Structure 1
Amino acid sequence: MANSYFATGWRKYGWLAAGIALGLFGTNSEWSIPIAGWLFSIGLMRFTRSSRVLAGLACIGLSATATTVVYVAAAGQSGVLPILLGCLLLSLILSIPLLADRLLFQRLNPFLATLVFPAARVTVEFLVAAISPLGTIFGPLAATQSANLPLLQTVSVTGIYGLSFLMAWVAPVVNLALERRLHWPSIRTVALTYVSVLVLVLIGGGLRLAMAPTAPSLVRVAGISASLAAEGRMRQINNFHTPQVLPEQKPTLRKAFAVLNDDLFAHSRIEADAGAKIVAWPETAAVVLNEDFPDFLRTAQSLAKEKQIYLDMGIAVILDGQPHSRDIAVLVGPDGKLLSTFDKAHPVPGMESLRPGDGIVPVSETPYGRLANVICFDADFPSTLRTHADIMFVPANDWKGIERTHSANAVFRAVENGYSLVRQTSGGIAITVDAYGASLARTNYFSTTQQSMIVSVPTRGTWTVYGLVGDLFAWLCVTNVVGLTGLAIFRRIGHQG
């Protein structure tokens, strides 16, 4: 066996600097570079493995702080202290796998030692997504890979965590090779195993794409947002900001909201006349006082019945005497009947004061397949989106700074669950992808005065392993971490005995 070689002196700090620099672009931000997500952990691990535990902890803290500052700055939220502190805490938690690797890698055989970091990384990502109020919007390594279609197919089996595992596995494999001075006999098993798995994943993903059946039927969907002119006229009448409505404000607010809502109904008519069978609005596209909601709904039902369309509406309902409102998605059928109402289940922490819904996704059987609905941030929670549908509508409302990354994050949900996904958004990038993550349409709110996304969408989805077994892979990683930790402790006790 070749002698182990760890970085020393300036080389060690060079690896640390490289890891931190790449890490700035390795998270799912507007400034992300996909290849950086694969590489940044190599440098950080080279430093932690070559340093004492406390020095490694300092490295973790420095890297987490730098990554958080860049992520929050890219999102345009550097002045929001709760978001900055929350992301810093999550970044520190997501760095724990480096510490686990540092403590365990010398107490296990070379192959098992390479599994500690990727299994721990998946474990932490999974627990953060399940427990934290940010879901998968901040954390998963895989989030930077939404445009790599062959690789993306992995998530149809393992969820987003299988792709994160594959990306994290690079760091211990490369570090082992460097520590063994590229001595082939001592690294052959590990290197060939990793390369074989990566090649099989890419071949399998390519075959899945190549063998995807042609959609037997398509439906014309029109995603529309209110025009900038209508939004401007509404603000001229009343730039509504106060969360609590006073009685004397209602006539002016009602007039202002009517400008916006009438614009949406008018454009819905235009798209229906042009052949759209489903018209989708973004999140909180329409705004209505609670007492006016029944009349608003009757207008929507009359339009859907007159034009024989399915009308999927994102609506903000302002509640009387309460500091919060309802953020809902309403689906009306061509017979004028109300098919579903969904309240946003996951308000953005620190930014939205809403009455959250129960998270039970409504699915409506239609001639165009099973139509389902969630709202914006809900799509960052894999467990909420795990449902049997053919087309998932995600009305959204972003802002400049997250427009690319937030829409890309929703692509994973489509591939995980095997449905097409229509994400009409205001203040961001509207996208439609099929069940394999392939882009069908894409429009940018900031590049037009009237954002419309016209697209033909498959009316039938496909089955996925992930849809059947859920987060089984993530739980296997949790079990793996526990088992490897126990084995390392057992071996240490055995050596001491």
Structure 2
Amino acid sequence: MKASKRSTALLAIFISGIFWYLSFDLALHAWWATWIAPMPVLYLSLRVSGWQAFGAAFVSCLAGWCSWIPYLLTILPLPVILLVVILFSLPMALVVALSRRIILKHVFPPLAALFVYPVLLTTAEFLQFLLSRDGTFGSIAYTQCNFLPIIQIASITGILGITFMVSFVPSAIVLVVHYHRQGRVVRNLVLMGIFPTAAVLTYGLLRLRESRPSECTKVGLAAISMSTYKNVYDTSREEQLHLTRLYLSEVDSLAGKGARVILLPEKCIPVSDATEASIQELFSDRSRHLGITIIVGFTRIYKGHMECQARVFSSNGDQVLNYRKVNLFEGEVLDGFKAGKEPGFYDRQGVRTGVAICKDMDYQRYMILYGKMGASVLYVPAWDFDRDGWLHARMAMMRAVENGFVLVRNAQQGRLIISDDRGSVLAEASSEKSKHASVTGEVCTKAGGLTLYSRWGDWFGWLNLFLAVAQIVMLSHWLRKASSTSAPRPGVSGISRK
């Protein structure tokens, strides 16, 4: 590569890397950067070799994921972190290299070529969702959680529709420039780029303007300081009852502010055989005395294993639900936790109400069950890792947009958040850096139909997978055809036969 081309390539990688870093950074939340990040390397890929395109895309995406290293250092050893950021970067590199080959071989006409990169990238994410133990964690769709008009498409397609759009627009811009430099008329390309984008944004704006329900309930959330805990799995009767009293004090305070439903964090109280009856009675008496519903996260310590539970105590003091966390993260499995098997529901004043716990919210295919079963509001006790508080709260919010329910999520070392079914934050507080936090807000619910995503599930992912396979098949067919037409025929090889 000549010096001038090398400088151009390095500049493209640098610019893409900077914008990917801004996109993925857990503190900046720069949604707009995601729309810019792929463009320099996509444009470069059409002017360099396949391996160079792969390398440029890999390095720029790797630079972006490096913004996660401070967060990952709090939960993983360094060798595993390096593996994680490499694995997160490889799909982008493969997609860019394959897109380049399909476009430059003219397998498709220019109008269809606009869709090559977004289809392949959306398919790569869909396969990750299907195969990864961490569900949708790492999707670029989550970078858009603050851009409310675009995330409304998730109610139809799931978050893959967001991934498609944030890759379609850069692809359209790059290819319009590419074909224009070749002297082609690009008016139809411009229109093709504008129409889907305008349609998605218009749908989002209209959905955001829909009337909101008038039936509201005040809810309260609280998390005590982590400095209070000696051991989150403490088996001491005195310590378990001490934590119970501290949280009951928070319940009293929130009820005094008018909260009728109070949500406490995941694993906020360890409970053993010796204390279960006492602690359950304390929460039952308090909910009955105050006439409120209390949802509290227990670490239920049994002989030989533990369970992550969410108990619901109704306003008459009855325990109406004991939900067991279904999707455990690796650390919980290693600590001896056992998973639950089914979603959790109860009815409050005729409102179908769901309960899930923390990691459950990372999995579309599990959370869609709550949508299909008619949840109007979902309460989620959770426990985050300080730096990922914003991200995990927004991942949960996207399940609410996909399935059409209100979200109330209380995370120890994370965010206490109330959001509606459009992804609008109604109330928020932070318990990051292990500090005490509390917040109250209104939960307004309505009886409505299922979202299209709740009805149809992963139809958009399967559609993109079908189109991606079709692209690869057509590329293979083109390459075989080109190889057969360019192969020397007897007597035409340039060497005369005797």
Name the TM-score, length of structure 1 as normaliser. Answer: 0.88
Structure 1 regions of 5+ residues with no counterpart?
Answer: 1-6
Q: Alignment partner of 1:18: what SS?
A: helix
How has the CA–CA distance of structure 1 residues 450 and 428 changed in structure 2, closer, same or farther, with 3 Å as cutoff?
A: same
| Contact 1:273/1:307, CA 8 A, preserved across alignment | no
Q: What fraction of aligned residue pairs are identical, expressed as a percent?
A: 21
227, 231, 236: which is aligned to 1:240?
231
303, 315, 325: which is aligned to 1:334?
315
Give the letter aligned to residue 150 of structure 1. P
Q: Which piece of structure 1 moves more, 110-119 or 464-473? A: 110-119
- Cα shift at 1:372: 0.6
Cα separation, 2, equivalents of 1:76 and 1:83: 7
How has the CA–CA distance of structure 1 residues 88 and 433 changed in structure 2, closer, same or farther, with 3 Å as cutoff?
A: same
Give the letter aligned to residue 20 of structure 1. G
Deviation by residue 1:10-66 (Cα, 9 ceiling, x = unmatched):
223321221122122222633442111111111222233322222233234423432
Q: Alignment partner of 2:375: what SS?
A: coil
Cα separation, 1, equivalents of 2:124 and 2:273: 41
Deviation by residue 1:119-161 (Cα, 9 ceiling, x = unmatched):
11111111212221222221x2221111112112111111101
| Contact 2:264/2:295, CA 8 A, preserved across alignment | yes
Alignment size in residue pairs: 472
Is 1:257–2:257 an aligned residue pair?
A: no
How has the CA–CA distance of structure 1 residues 28 and 410 changed in structure 2, closer, same or farther, with 3 Å as cutoff?
A: farther
Root-mean-square deviation (CA, aligned residues, Å) is: 2.5
- Cα shift at 1:255: 1.5
- Cα shift at 1:219: 0.8
Is 1:266–2:252 an aligned residue pair?
A: no
2, 10, 24: which is aligned to 1:13?
10
Cα separation, 1, equivalents of 2:323 and 2:417: 21
Q: Alignment partner of 1:100: what SS?
A: helix
How has the CA–CA distance of structure 1 residues 458 and 314 changed in structure 2, closer, same or farther, with 3 Å as cutoff?
A: same
Give the letter aligned to residue 108 of structure 1. F
430, 449, 456: which is aligned to 1:469?
456
Deviation by residue 1:73-113 (Cα, 9 ceiling, x = unmatched):
24553862334423432332343221221221122221222
Give the letter aligned to residue 118 of structure 2. P
| Contact 1:157/1:464, CA 8 A, preserved across alignment | yes
Cα separation, 1, equivalents of 2:287 and 2:92: 47
Cα separation, 1, equivalents of 2:331 and 2:270: 21
Cα separation, 2, equivalents of 1:208 and 1:391: 18
- Spell out the pairing of 1:41-80 with structure 2 (5 A cutoff): 41-77=38-74, 80=77
Q: Alignment partner of 1:494: what SS?
A: helix
Deviation by residue 1:451-480 (Cα, 9 ceiling, x = unmatched):
222111013254311111111111111111
Cα separation, 1, equivalents of 2:463 and 2:40: 27
Cα separation, 2, equivalents of 1:282 and 1:102: 48
Match of 1:178 in 2: 177
376, 386, 406: which is aligned to 1:390?
376
Cα separation, 1, equivalents of 2:274 and 2:128: 39
Match of 1:3 in 2: none
How has the CA–CA distance of structure 1 residues 443 and 332 changed in structure 2, closer, same or farther, with 3 Å as cutoff?
A: same
Cα separation, 2, equivalents of 1:449 and 1:478: 44
Match of 1:85 in 2: 83
Cα separation, 2, equivalents of 1:73 and 1:487: 43
Deviation by residue 1:377-431 (Cα, 9 ceiling, x = unmatched):
2211111211220111111112321122221222211111111000112212211
Match of 2:358 in 1: 376
Give the letter aligned to residue 343 of structure 2. V
Is 1:128–2:106 an aligned residue pair?
A: no
416, 428, 431: which is aligned to 1:445?
431
Q: Alignment partner of 2:220: what SS?
A: strand
- Cα shift at 1:169: 1.0
Cα separation, 2, equivalents of 1:19 and 1:124: 20
Give the letter aligned to residue 302 of structure 1. D
How has the CA–CA distance of structure 1 residues 101 and 448 changed in structure 2, closer, same or farther, with 3 Å as cutoff?
A: closer
- Spell out the pairing of 1:357-372 with structure 2 (5 A cutoff): 357-358=339-340, 360-367=342-349, 369-372=351-354
Is 1:195–2:181 an aligned residue pair?
A: no
Give the letter aligned to residue 149 of structure 2. P
How has the CA–CA distance of structure 1 residues 254 and 18 changed in structure 2, closer, same or farther, with 3 Å as cutoff?
A: same
Match of 2:441 in 1: 455
| Contact 1:64/1:88, CA 8 A, preserved across alignment | no
Cα separation, 2, equivalents of 1:59 and 1:351: 38
Cα separation, 2, equivalents of 1:112 and 1:412: 30
| Contact 2:413/2:435, CA 8 A, preserved across alignment | no
| Contact 2:23/2:34, CA 8 A, preserved across alignment | yes
Q: Which piece of structure 1 moves more, 440-449 or 386-395? A: 440-449
Is 1:26–2:23 an aligned residue pair?
A: yes
Q: Alignment partner of 2:327: what SS?
A: coil
Cα separation, 1, equivalents of 2:192 and 2:336: 49
How has the CA–CA distance of structure 1 residues 423 and 113 changed in structure 2, closer, same or farther, with 3 Å as cutoff?
A: same
Match of 1:4 in 2: none
How has the CA–CA distance of structure 1 residues 67 and 461 changed in structure 2, closer, same or farther, with 3 Å as cutoff?
A: farther
Name the TM-score, length of structure 2 as normaliser. Answer: 0.88
Cα separation, 2, equivalents of 1:461 and 1:78: 40
Match of 1:304 in 2: 287
